[in-house]
Amino acid sequence: MIEHGELDSKLAELYGEEAVEDQRYRYIRAIDEFSINFDSDCKDRDIYLFSVSGRSEICGNHTDHNCGLVIGCAVNLDLIAVASPTSDRMINLKSAGYPLDTVSFDKLSPSECNKFSSSAIIAGICSGFEKRGYALGGFDAYTTNNVYKGSGLSSSAAFEVAVGTMMSCLHNGGSVDPVEIAKISQYAEREFFGKACGLMDQAVCAVGGLVMIDFEKEDEPKIEKLNADISKYGYSMCITNTGGSHANLSDDYSAVPAEMKKIADFFGRNVLRGLTMEQIINKMPELRDFAGDRAILRAMHFIEENDRVTALRTAMEGGDMPAFIETILDSGRSSYQLLQNIYSNKAPEQQGISLALAVTEFLLKDKKSAWRVHGGGFAGTIQAFVPNEYTEHYRQGMDAVFGKGACTVMRTRNVGAVRLA
């Protein structure tokens, strides 16, 4: 089917007309890999194709886990999957470059020995479906992902949402809402994988487009698609992969929400949302004794970053690029100085993000550009918004430091998780 061009219009919608031929070949190779790994002739099985976008956080760095505000967008890098339903009670999933994961529905409970593994994620998704009363059914699947691992573009969230989307489409008639799939994915990452996380990554991967998410009601986040496009004003979003690994950083990530919530606990709250900077300043001596200085700085970041999200929305929807640039730069400075998620204290000699930010400032200073750490931080990527006339200059400069292909010019994708066929 796909080799004869029947899906070309869908591929063009997801990837752009210029990428149709390459993407068609990519899906054909994935189907071939499915056939090889599951020893089957795909003509004898019902085969389904899926795509889940990566995501870029534009503003709201580490705000989602304290019921804050976030602006994010789906991007044109994605995870694709080939899947076929089975009659047994298990999932067999092979990801390119990784061993086969087999998860039985008879063993859907968190396990210490299984933490931080893809099979833990799969088991957690199945558990989440079961707890919410959805149908569970077996399937074989092959996935391949061009969302760089550890890049801050949410390759792990794309994987989680893909498993949930396959379960929804193959055994629940596609009836599970994308936001519900995002919540199930978050549950799997927290309870089974063992990493504290917010909901932003999964929500943007599932929903797609440029969105603002309000997590004030954590169980019912308010998701709005925004009518804004910085490309209309001659800007491109560039993501540079510094090559740093997110391995062994789970405790760094988990410390951020834990420290923020310790400040909230001092004020008798569950989360920071609703606290003001004046309240923090007025109780500074007591807070230093209770939670330590870093926790205070991270709480200050949250309060100001939450305000920046609202300001950024106004700037984007009004086409006010000077205000947009100023707000992004303020966000980046706050992440660097207050949130302190630029590098891990466990390996201070490894500061790829710090280096990338310094090189970016050298390349783009006085060029009406903005830059900041991207995603969870500590390793991985930075983000820059660059006038189109300087984009190639910037890309070449970053590639010269971090290697060919390190800097990618991204575009927003309007669709999140989708079944193509």
Q: Which two tokens stand for residue 187?
A: 């549950």
For residue range 110-147, what is the model confidence (pLDDT) as tens digits? Answer: 988 888 899 999 999 999 999 999 999 999 999 999 87
Q: How confident is the model at residue 418 (pLDDT cuts 50, 70, 90)?
A: very high
* Range from 37-41, 66-70, 80-84, 177-181 carrying the lowest mean pLDDT: 37-41
Mean pLDDT over 175-203 rounds to 90
pLDDT score for 83: 97
Please work out, in degrees rounded to the nearest 5, the angle formed at the alpha carbon of residue 379 by the alpha carbons of 375 and 383: 45
Neighbours of 241 (CB within 10 A): 24
In the three-class reduction of DSSP (H, G, I as helix; E, B as strand; rest coil), residue 417 is classed as strand
Closest CA to 339 of 380, 295, 372: 295
- For residue 37, pLDDT over 70 is answered with yes
Rounded Cα–Cα distance for residues 198 and 189 (Å): 10
User: Do the beta carbons of residue 53 and residue 291 sit within 8 Å?
Assistant: no
pLDDT, greater one: 263 or 224: 263
- For residue 150, pLDDT over 60 is answered with no
For residue range 76-109, what is the model confidence (pLDDT) as tens digits? Answer: 889 999 999 999 999 999 999 999 999 999 989 9
User: Do the beta carbons of residue 389 and residue 367 sit within 8 Å?
Assistant: no
Percentage of the chain lying above the pLDDT 90 cut? 79
pLDDT score for 411: 86
For residue range 225-275, what is the model confidence (pLDDT) as tens digits? Answer: 898 989 999 999 999 999 876 667 888 988 999 999 999 999 999 999 999
Q: Which amino acid is at 361?
A: E
Long-range contacts of 362-365 (CB under 8 A, 24+ apart): 363/393, 363/394, 363/397, 363/398, 364/390, 364/394
Mean pLDDT of the chain, nearest integer:
93
User: Do the beta carbons of residue 373 and residue 341 sit within 8 Å?
Assistant: yes
* Range from 16-30, 207-221, 259-273, 312-326 carrying the lowest mean pLDDT: 207-221
pLDDT score for 412: 87
Closest CA to 342 of 385, 373, 297: 373
Domains, the chain, ordered by start: 2-227+414-419 (3.30.230.10), 230-410 (3.30.70.890)
- For residue 44, pLDDT over 80 is answered with no
For residue range 364-399, what is the model confidence (pLDDT) as tens digits? Answer: 999 999 999 988 899 989 999 999 999 999 999 999
User: Do the beta carbons of residue 337 and residue 377 sit within 8 Å?
Assistant: no
pLDDT score for 153: 60
Mean pLDDT over 275-293 rounds to 98
- For residue 1, pLDDT over 90 is answered with no
User: Do the beta carbons of residue 370 and residue 386 sit within 8 Å?
Assistant: no
pLDDT score for 191: 93
User: Do the beta carbons of residue 380 and residue 151 sit within 8 Å?
Assistant: yes
- For 390, phi then psi, to 5°, come to -110, 0
pLDDT score for 152: 55
